[in-house]
Chain A
């Protein structure tokens, strides 16, 4: 699989929580070309099986959805009111370009310009309520002719290489994980596993709950993107993960206590295959791990992440080398489980 091209394609797709169809169709097309039978369940998870049906049931999972905005109301003058879907820092929203609604209309997030701000206003960041989406509509009626309340907006960003190894783009959380799974499904290997591309992770790990219930795996590995905080203001011991140091093995997060045995299997698999890895040195924030681990009578679950700077913003940065070594580590672990 062409990693750079696929990452760009996945990243550019629009798929905010609850509206993942574009991502799901793209993945389904690629998988059907690869002669896979895919299934979409009631909530929208894309489920696929690779290899034989016997033996230990291994589940790989990656969520397809990204954070974004939802149109909540139209102002008389045609500006749009919105709310964030998933965890977005409202301070990063000002002046960002958007694609709005099912027709991907161009738009921008507007705010009161510096000239008109009163004394003191400049000291406070804009909140959602003081921001609006501007698609150039003349008035309420025109806006309502193009859009309905409840439609989504995504960051208008095209994925690009910014150095030999680094990429900048939106939605790496978690199209990077989708890419890892897709790569392992499409490459030539004799591995057997079930894959779930899940929906609605960013609004509370909802799709994974249903996927895990359906799949009834014996073991699950969640492939994610996690915050790298290897930036100057974050001291090294608190940096969570570092770009270029390979896939990050989670210890725990707010949803799951990672199975100790599986964590060891991952480190052993990494060392055996000569893959550098790191631990995710942060225990907060949630993943699909919890929804899967505590499904039915319990599932041994681990979480592996591609380190990624500035997630949940229009421009995340990741290293291709981390992406590749994450694929290698998942493959190497799957090998030990066959």
Chain B
């Protein structure tokens, strides 16, 4: 798990340019599937055929980042955010382009932190002029944080893009341990552009037409000093989502997940995320509606260069997800609420 997580988090994959991550995941799990395919947007589908119902398990591959919007005459780049990113968090950070080029974000002179807005930021790639800069970068190029994966003493990991390579790693591990025959058909989708508004999951759900949806993603926690009130902590188990801004977990799915966790004796938490969404938000509204839920990995410092997760939560997420796929999913009937 640690090795896969290190590999995946260190890859380059801001929203819109997920191909490096997609290729790596395909290499890791492709051979085990009945078929793999991608759609127009770049979602990777990893299909395990079976009888009805059809379950779609989604984890997004993209990470937050920036897009270059202009290059000035002195070779400085201007940038705009990809996903929910704050200028104060970017300041002083190194960013990495697909080519491997590294740049540093800093800001124009400001008198007050309140003045620190996107138009004040620039990216310095160490070039002396526009023409020099244009040799190594172009308007429209993307970049992500440049941070190595770190295993701290104990059980926790720090890395960029835990959101959501942690979810991808959970899917990869689950796929590796999948035992056939499966009680029903399962399609794992490694989705794109989640950070821009659950966009990949929308087209993936339309294309696959699942009967059920489940997103695996990170969630915020409330266990740091004077944090926002939130009843999820690192290390107390994967979280079964109750609701966030994008979805209310179908009560039947939520109960099913809770029952399975209890049966398997896996520690879990219940998650109510007040701000934030996940792929399940797009999946559950696809076509005529898809009962959906989400399994969340507690994560500190989401959308910063160093996001922290606990290995026990990851292992338990794999155990719970694997458990969920070993049993037949309940039929959605009238009066189930």
Interface set of A (CB-CB < 8 Å, partner B): 236-238, 251-252, 257, 260, 263, 279, 281-284, 290, 293-300
Known: A281-B70, A282-B80, A283-B67. A263 touches B199 (CB 8 A): no
For B43, the chain A residues whose CB sits under 8 A away are 298
Interface of B is mostly: mixed
Point out the residue from A257, A279, A296, A300 that lies within 8 Å of B193, measured CB to CB: A257
Taking a contact as CB atoms under 8 Å apart, the answer to whether A297 and B16 are in contact is: no
How many residues in B have their beta carbons less than 8 Å from beta carbons of A?
27
Taking a contact as CB atoms under 8 Å apart, the answer to whether A298 and B119 are in contact is: no
Taking a contact as CB atoms under 8 Å apart, the answer to whether B40 and A297 are in contact is: yes
Known: A237-B72, A282-B80. A251 touches B139 (CB 8 A): yes
Whether B256 is near chain A, meaning CB under 8 Å from some CB there, is: no
Min C-beta distance of A251 to chain B, whole Å: 4
Taking a contact as CB atoms under 8 Å apart, the answer to whether A237 and B78 are in contact is: yes
For B200, the chain A residues whose CB sits under 8 A away are 298
Min C-beta distance of B121 to chain A, whole Å: 11
Q: Which of B160-219 contact A (CB under 8 A)?
A: 193, 196, 199-200, 202-204, 206-207
Known: A257-B15, A260-B17. A298 touches B41 (CB 8 A): yes
Known: A251-B140, A263-B140. A297 touches B69 (CB 8 A): no
Taking a contact as CB atoms under 8 Å apart, the answer to whether B40 and A300 are in contact is: yes
Which A-chain residue is minimally distant from B41 (CB atoms)?
A: A298
Taking a contact as CB atoms under 8 Å apart, the answer to whether A279 and B140 are in contact is: yes
Cα(A294)–Cα(B199), bound, Å: 6
Most A CB contacts (10 A, CB to CB) among B40, B78, B204, B206 go to B40
Which A-chain residue is minimally distant from B80 (CB atoms)?
A: A283
For B23, the chain A residues whose CB sits under 8 A away are none
In the complex, 13 of the A-B residue pairs with CB atoms within 8 angstroms, ordered by the A residue number, are A251-B139, A251-B140, A252-B67, A257-B15, A257-B196, A257-B199, A281-B78, A293-B199, A294-B202, A296-B207, A297-B207, A298-B40, A298-B41
Known: A257-B16, A257-B199, A294-B199. A251 touches B39 (CB 8 A): no
Taking a contact as CB atoms under 8 Å apart, the answer to whether B16 and A260 are in contact is: yes
Cα(A295)–Cα(B203), bound, Å: 7
Known: A252-B16, A257-B16, A279-B140. A298 touches B67 (CB 8 A): no
